[in-house]
Amino acid sequence: MTMSVYLSALSVTNLISRMPAAVAQGIIWGLMALGVFITFRLLDIPDMTVDGSFATGGAVTVMLLLAGMPAWAALLIAIVVGVLTGLCTGFLHTKLGIPAILAGILTQFALYSINLRIMTKANQTASVQKFGMFWENGNGFLVSSLHIPQAILVGLVLTAIIVALSYWYFGTEQGSALRATGNNPAMSRAQGIHIGTMKVIGLGISNGIVALAGGLMTQFQGTADVSMGRGAIVIGLAAIVIGEILCDAIFSKGCNFAVKLCFIIFGGVVYYAVMVVILWLKLDPNDLKLFTAIIVAAFLAIPQLKAQSKSSFSRSKKRAISERSDA
Amino acid sequence: MLEIKNVSKTFNPGTINEKRALTDLSLSLNDGDFVSVIGGNGAGKSTLLNAVAGVWPVDSGSILIDGEDVTGMPEYKRAKYIGRVFQDPMMGTAPNMQIEENLALAYRRGKKRGLKWGVTAAEREIYRAKLATLGLGLEDRLTAKVGLLSGGQRQALTLLMASLQTPKLLLLDEHTAALDPGTAKKVLELSDKIISDNKLTALMITHNMTDAIRHGNRLIMMDRGKIVLDISGEEKSRLTKADLLERFAEKTGVQEETDSVLLS
């Protein structure tokens, strides 16, 4: 009885109607995940700064909008400020010798106060009705929840630009040196690469992209909140692992770097769509973070579990016992 | 080519783990010298190579490469002059990057890394030709990830990378110790070839006395942070393993199990 009541309360049309907004937001989170990818996968640093720099991007964007700056210019400055937050973490890590993860946590912690200073209070609103859209007056919002199809289009264009720039940069001499730094620091030093500089550059680029995503999210929602970046690192990791698994499944023989980057954006979209489905199923929204953590932990554990399924002590024990009984 | 003057290094000074690794050590290498370095565990062989490579600053003394004082230069700057191959085959290459990307990184050793494309078509041809000389078939696998190669292949690739940008000095830190005997022999022959083809000055640590005798024009033996024996030219070519053991015992006062001390 209760089950049928529950099922009848679920409307498929309702779910479908929610999907476009989910895709638009998923693209923005995917863009953020691209920033996380640079530190987490290329530099091998789990950078906790992003929880702070995402909100910093939002805070800078909203305050500049309220000060009358065009939305596109506000985003550019948000990127610059985001880069600075990454440089701060890089400085703490490479110059002061603080472990990377702790350096990120410290910057993130400090950014909470800084974001409050920037916004003067916990949240600020910039309404799209007042500022209009970019294609209406040239200075308005680039994305907005009131114009979903356009938001998806603009999101895809911006994403394509960032993917293209990333593909180019990581193919250059300097970008290769940065990848080598994350892959084998000892070898990089022996090849004359200053690994500290490379880490600082990577952290800067990463947080610049994350702040851009924060600025876009602020325009999309018309508001910035000091806690809007909470859990951004986990969402970024979720998008990365989902994207990578889908990429491996489709291109089992490996694929181009640019395709990999596109799959991370796609991973962000899938992640956000799953969240919408969970909400649609009327599960408690308070449990969302728990679900996300479980999904990320499960996917990050896959390589280890795969290796164990081939070789583990318990398997050796079973084999030894069966060999003995055979003999 | 290499001038080491009165270099000392103590690890963990002032603690219970204090270890005097190099004691007032001096060594001078001529252009084209290929020196094999032997000695027991803790004799300071790797410390000597790391001091030259600039892994950490020395406590006292100075190091000159081709007349230039590099004592105050950090590792990444000295890399301009030095090619290195490590004991661990995993250490000299980036596993998640392609063979050609690894070579391109080495090709730019000591040069500014800007925003030009990381691997050009012209240099790809150079890599193909150089890889072909290894005789491992790697020239057809330029875009394969290095992590897919065997230890011997990776060590051969590291050797090629170390010599791609002709170094003033080549440092080989027991670079065959982790390989099986057959592969070790091949990598050692390859080292010989690369050193003689490029007329390199090289320092090679080895635990194998026969290798130390057979390779290079000079042999030094270390003990407790000092060079206790330095044989070169005619004298070295007549050297036998028995001679070496005897000389070792004479220099260090270790009589029994000298073989295991040297070979351990």
What is the band of B242 on the pLDDT scale with cuts at 50, 70, 90?
A: confident
Q: How far apart are CA B14 and CA A325, in angstroms?
A: 59
Tell me the one-letter amino acid at A186.
Answer: A
Among the partner residues B93, B110, B114, nearest to A192 by beta-carbon distance: B110
Among the partner residues B77, B93, B113, nearest to A187 by beta-carbon distance: B93
Is the model's pLDDT at B188 over the cut of 90?
yes
Lowest mean pLDDT segment, chosen from A86-100, B77-91, B225-239: B225-239
CA terminus-to-terminus distance, chain B:
31
Among the partner residues A176, A188, A194, nearest to B118 by beta-carbon distance: A176
One domain for residues A177 and A318: no
B75:A187 CB<8 A: no
One domain for residues A268 and A203: yes
Which residues in chain A have Cβ-Cβ distances shorter than 8 Å to B109?
191-192
C-alpha separations of A153 from A25, A148, A156 in Å: 12, 9, 5
Is the model's pLDDT at A58 over the cut of 70?
yes
Please tell me the predicted confidence (pLDDT) of residue A304: 82
The C-alpha of B153 sits at a distance from chain A's nearest C-alpha, in angstroms, of: 16
What is the band of A111 on the pLDDT scale with cuts at 50, 70, 90?
A: very high
The tens digit of pLDDT for each residue in A254-289 reads 788 999 999 999 999 999 999 899 888 888 888 888
Mutate to test the interface with B, among A40, A187, A197, A257 (most CBs of B within 10 A): A187
**A39 within domain boundaries:** yes
* DSSP line for A209-231: HHHHHHHHHHHHHTEEETTTTTT
Decide: B148 and B131 in contact? Cβ < 8 Å: no
Tokens for A37, please give them. 């990818």
Parallel, antiparallel or unpaired: strands B68-69 and B60-65? antiparallel
Decide: A178 and A4 in contact? Cβ < 8 Å: no
**A11 within domain boundaries:** no
Please tell me the predicted confidence (pLDDT) of residue A1: 59
A179 half-sphere exposure, CB direction, 13 A CA radius: 23
B106:A191 CB<8 A: yes
Is the model's pLDDT at A44 over the cut of 80?
yes
Overall average pLDDT of the B220-232 stretch:
91
Decide: A199 and A49 in contact? Cβ < 8 Å: no
The residue among A79, A98, A18, A1 whose CA lies nearest residue A282 is: A18
One domain for residues A266 and A199: yes
B105:A174 CB<8 A: no
One domain for residues A54 and A132: yes
One domain for residues A119 and A221: yes
Domain B2-95+149-263 has CATH 1.20.210.10: no
One domain for residues A155 and A295: no
Please tell me the predicted confidence (pLDDT) of residue A313: 83
Is the model's pLDDT at A212 over the cut of 90?
yes
DSSP letter (8 states) at residue A141: B
- The residue range of the domain holding A103 is 19-282
Q: How far apart are CA B249 and CA A219, in angstroms?
A: 79
Tokens for B20, please give them. 């005097």
A and B: number of Cβ contacts within 8 A: 81
Of A264, A282, A300, at which residue does a domain stop? A282
The tens digit of pLDDT for each residue in A286-306 reads 888 888 888 888 888 887 888
**A5 within domain boundaries:** no
B75:A193 CB<8 A: no
Question: What are the φ and ψ backbone dihedral angles of B204, each rounded to 5 degrees?
Answer: -125, 120
Q: How far apart are CA A184 and CA A299, in angstroms?
A: 24
Nearest residue on chain B to A187, alpha-carbon basis: B92
Among the partner residues B109, B115, B118, nearest to A191 by beta-carbon distance: B109
Please tell me the predicted confidence (pLDDT) of residue B248: 80
B115:A169 CB<8 A: yes
Starting at the edge strand found earlier in the chain, the sheet holding B82-85 runs: B82-85, B169-173, B202-205, B34-39, B218-223, B226-232
Lowest mean pLDDT segment, chosen from A117-126, B54-63, B168-177, B207-216: B207-216
Decide: A124 and A223 in contact? Cβ < 8 Å: yes
Mutate to test the interface with B, among A44, A176, A197 (most CBs of B within 10 A): A176
The residue among A7, A5, A50, A9 whose CA lies nearest residue A31 is: A50
Q: How far apart are CA A275 and CA A15, in angstroms?
A: 11
Alpha-carbon dihedral angle through residues A35, A38, A44, A49, given to the nearest 10 degrees: -30
Provide, rounded to the nearest whole percent, the portion of chain A with pLDDT above 70.
Answer: 99
Nearest residue on chain A to B92, alpha-carbon basis: A187
Provide, rounded to the nearest whole percent, the portion of chain A with pLDDT above 90.
Answer: 72
The tens digit of pLDDT for each residue in A184-201 reads 999 999 999 999 999 999
Residue A131 CB coordination number (10 Å): 21
One domain for residues A243 and A316: no
One domain for residues A146 and A295: no
Decide: A50 and A32 in contact? Cβ < 8 Å: yes
A192:B109 CB<8 A: yes
- Give the containing element (helix H, strand E) for B188: helix B181-197
A183:B104 CB<8 A: no
Please tell me the predicted confidence (pLDDT) of residue B157: 96
A191:B117 CB<8 A: no
Is the model's pLDDT at B255 over the cut of 80?
no
Please tell me the predicted confidence (pLDDT) of residue A327: 67
Tokens for A70, please give them. 């065009």
Nearest residue on chain A to B117, alpha-carbon basis: A172
Report the mean per-residue pLDDT for chain B: 91
Give chain A's domain count.
2
Please tell me the predicted confidence (pLDDT) of residue A289: 86
Among the partner residues B82, B113, B161, nearest to A173 by beta-carbon distance: B113
Among the partner residues B94, B113, B119, nearest to A174 by beta-carbon distance: B113
- Which residues have CB under 8 Å from A124's CB, separation 6+? A59, A62, A63, A66, A223, A224
**A173 within domain boundaries:** yes
Overall average pLDDT of the B239-255 stretch:
79
A194:B76 CB<8 A: yes
Please tell me the predicted confidence (pLDDT) of residue A103: 98
Overall average pLDDT of the A248-259 stretch:
88
C-alpha separations of A30 from A155, A239, A270, B170, B234 in Å: 10, 6, 9, 46, 69
Decide: A34 and A244 in contact? Cβ < 8 Å: no
Is the model's pLDDT at B49 over the cut of 70?
yes
- Give the containing element (helix H, strand E) for A182: helix A173-183
Strand, helix or coil at B179?
A: coil
Residue extents of the structural domains in chain B: 2-95+149-263
Alpha-carbon dihedral angle through residues B222, B223, B227, B228, given to the nearest 10 degrees: -110
One domain for residues A209 and A325: no
Please tell me the predicted confidence (pLDDT) of residue B264: 42
